[in-house]
A and B are shown apart, each in its own frame.
Chain A
Amino acid sequence: MNGLVALVSGFLFALGLGISGMTRPHIVRGFLDVFGSWDWRLIGVMGGAIGIHAITYRLILKRSSPILGPKFQLPTKKDIDMRLIIGSMLFGLGWGWAGICPGPGLVSVVSGNFSFLYFVGAMLVGMKMFQIFEQKFLNKKVRGIYE
């Protein structure tokens, strides 16, 4: 059943990304081009998504558990560290450069447009490289430097 939930959620998520314009890199880059010809329309995506989810999140957490599982699995990290800042900076640089973030990239690989294929291929390599890097350098030994 959790598989079906994930399937439906992923399907709807993809439709939302497409309808809102997130799968068109020039619209995303136009949104980030605040000092140029700023296209502010994507504010509506965040507004719509957060507007809905901020309310439903509070209602759902009144329950003691999700419908299909024993407990909620929410992120537990609370610390503000260099990992969070540097990671978000690198992500933002790549996001602005291509106008694509992970969700829209994945949704768009099926479009057959090579721009998305290059992007997603490199993104998966970047993720794998991070996991190797994390295992070698971030786990325990030199944690103090990064966190």
Chain B
Amino acid sequence: MNQIMGGVIIGIAATIMLLFSGRVTGISGILGGLLNPKTQDKSWRLFFVVGLLFGGVTLKLLRPDFFTVISSASPMDYLIAGFLVGFGTLLGNGCTSGHGVCGISRLSPRSILATVTFISAGIISVILFKFIRGEL
């Protein structure tokens, strides 16, 4: 596991998208666009998601341990969390990739504020999760 190397590869992926297609690599936005019937430019979004899934298959074949889940969370926890993430990222116009990587790289004030907000909320969420389970 190498965090900086993984981060550099993510930075290169975002660079390729910007240099060739002129677009921001925001995953929630790309996905939201696919779900919206009014979106005109669906094909590149679909290709990006296929690329992500293809990457997932490659990782699964080479390093299945990358997908180990060690958590006391129940299916209901994942359903609630997933819903909040889906609704919240579209309301806030971005997630860890769009705001956290691309936005901060552009020094966008909106993205910096969004990133501080979602990391803070994430810290609170972990505390709440542990508190409810008596792990605190």
Partners in one complex: yes
Residues of A near any B CB (own CB < 8 A): 1-26, 29, 32-36, 41-54, 56-57, 60, 65-69, 71-75, 77-80, 83-103, 105-116, 118-131, 133-134
Inter-chain contact count A-B, CB under 8 Å? 485
Give every chain B residue within 8 A of A47 (Cβ-Cβ).
Answer: 4, 7
The reply to whether A25 and B87 contact each other, CB–CB distance below 8 Å, is no
Q: Which residue in A10, A22, A29, A54 is a CB contact (below 8 Å) of B105? A: A54
The reply to whether A11 and B54 contact each other, CB–CB distance below 8 Å, is yes
Grouping DSSP codes into helix (H, G, I), strand (E, B) and loop, the B interface class, with mixed when no group exceeds half, is helix
Count contacts on B: residues with CB < 8 A to the other chain: 109
Q: How far is the CA of A31 from the CA of B75 in the complex (A)?
A: 22
Give every chain B residue within 8 A of A3 (Cβ-Cβ).
Answer: 43-44, 47
Chain B nearest CB, measured from A10 CB (Å): 2
Can you name 23 A-B residue pairings with CB atoms under 8 Å? A2-B21, A6-B51, A10-B50, A13-B55, A23-B66, A43-B3, A44-B2, A50-B11, A52-B7, A74-B24, A75-B93, A78-B109, A84-B113, A87-B88, A88-B121, A94-B80, A95-B121, A97-B129, A100-B82, A102-B28, A107-B59, A128-B35, A129-B86
The reply to whether A52 and B15 contact each other, CB–CB distance below 8 Å, is yes
Give every chain A residue within 8 A of B85 (Cβ-Cβ).
Answer: 90-91, 94-95, 98, 100-102, 105, 119, 123, 126
